Amino acid sequence: MPLARNAKPEKRVLTARGLATRQRIVAAAADLIYAASAERVSLDEIMEASGTSKSQLYHYFSDKDALVRAVIDIQTDRILQANSKFLGPLDSFEGLRAWRDALIQANRLGVSGGCPIGSLASELSSQSEDARRTLDQSFLSWTAVIESGLSRMKARGHLRPSADTKTIALAVLAAIQGGILLSKTASNSQPLEVAFDMALAHIAQHAA
């Protein structure tokens, strides 16, 4: 009993430490992969950047593919988190414009990097069925959050009852992804602005 009583908190401490180590590996991998690509980054580089050993890394991830899936998850969380300030309470055209402005402002600051999920989707969707499924889930989560906002706009009477919010949300995400890709290639935010404004005009076509 005393042993068990001691062991339990110790196990809890180890778990917290373990989670922190795992988190450190994934964060380092996410940053390195964002700066280059999944293919260009080696496990050795990730170990070095996160200050972990090979045995630690393989304790948490069976292989590089498993680590890349964790990177997709963390990047999805980061994107949803970064957009939640605008998408969380979104229920008006004013809110849509505030979101547009914030996303374009963020793009101006980091235009050359592109979207971390869009880049991984482009790189991995035709290389790994597991990665493709994880990336598809990421885009679906993103579409669902946009759709929630559009549904609230509909509930508040800003959009017509006939507006197909799911399809509109998918079109908005496509405009954003295409705009970010063209902006990264042009090295300026104009394509994203133009694409986002098309998406807003598209939503406005369904205004009540």
Can you tell me which of 37, 56, 128, 141 binds a second copy, judged by CB under 8 A? 37
- Minimum CB–partner distance for residue 82 and a second copy (Å): 19
Question: Which residues have C-beta within 8 Å of that of residue 77, sequence separation ≥ 6?
Answer: none
**Number of amino acids touching a second copy (CB under 8 A):** 47
| Closer residue to a second copy in complex, CB, 22/124 | 124
**Which tokens in the block code for residue 42?**
């080696």
**Which tokens in the block code for residue 153?**
């706009």
DSSP 90-126: --SHHHHHHHHHHHHHHHHHTTTT--HHHHHHHHHTT
Interaction of residue 69 with a second copy, rule CB under 8 A: no
Can you tell me which of 36, 66, 82, 208 binds a second copy, judged by CB under 8 A? 36
Binding mask 95-114 for a second copy (x = CB under 8 A): -----------------xxx
The sign one gets for the Cα dihedral 90, 94, 96, 102 is negative
Residue 29: Cβ within 10 Å count: 26
For tokens 């406005």, the residue is 204
Interaction of residue 146 with a second copy, rule CB under 8 A: no
| Closer residue to a second copy in complex, CB, 35/208 | 35
Binding mask 114-143 for a second copy (x = CB under 8 A): x---xx-xxx-xxx----x--xx--x----
Can you tell me which of 101, 167, 207, 208 binds a second copy, judged by CB under 8 A? 167
Q: How far is CA 142 from CA 13, 76, 80, 171, 195, in A?
A: 34, 8, 7, 12, 17
Contact residues: a second copy, CB under 8 A: 35-37, 39-40, 112-114, 118-119, 121-123, 125-127, 132, 135-136, 139, 167, 170-171, 173-179, 181-182, 184-187, 190-192, 194-195, 197-199, 201-202, 205
